[in-house]
Homo-oligomer: A and B are copies of this chain.
Amino acid sequence: MLTIQRLSLADARTLIEGARVRAAEIGVPMCIAVTDESGQLIAFERMDGGKVTSTTIAQDKAFTAAGAKRTTESYWEASQPGKPAYGINSAIGGRLLVVAGGIPVIVDGQVVGAVGVSSGTPAQDSDCAQAGIDLFLAGLSASEKS
């Protein structure tokens, strides 16, 4: 038997909050998804004005980051023409996303879930996903100190 750590719904809300606050700061309404470590959806929010296509893309970015234990941005580099993972973007029915914006949430060296953001530029998406993780990890750190 294996013992696994996984995000709770409360954790997922914190991750979404951090991403949403950052999205509001930069003025881009985002779709924000949080999955557990197996890539299964825990929570999702589409900010008013977020893109319809991004409801799927945000979820699949989080699925990819959790399932493959790496950022979707790292696949972008690795899947360029001539690079080893070229062509991987159409795997799993196209759910494997290689566009920036999916980032695994890592606690004590283990992937416990992931955030996926979509509707802006890939750089904006990634920035907001990271803001969600920053807020979450800051909360974890604060609770450990208390």
Which residues of the other chain, B, contact A86 by a CB distance below 8 angstroms? Answer: 76, 79-80, 98-99
CB pair A9 B48 closer than 8 Å: yes
CB pair B44 A44 closer than 8 Å: yes
Quickly give the copy total for this chain. 4
Q: How far is the CA of A93 from the CA of B100 in the complex (A)?
A: 18
CB pair A41 B40 closer than 8 Å: no
Residues of A participating in the B interface, judged by any CB pair closer than 8 Å: 1-9, 11-12, 36, 38-48, 51-57, 60, 63-64, 66-69, 75-76, 79-82, 84-94, 96-100, 107, 112, 121-123
* 28 chain-A/chain-B pairs, Cβ below 8 angstroms: A2-B7, A3-B3, A3-B5, A3-B6, A9-B46, A9-B47, A9-B48, A40-B52, A51-B69, A52-B66, A52-B68, A53-B67, A53-B92, A54-B67, A57-B92, A76-B86, A79-B86, A79-B87, A80-B81, A84-B99, A84-B121, A84-B122, A86-B99, A87-B98, A88-B99, A90-B90, A91-B97, A92-B94
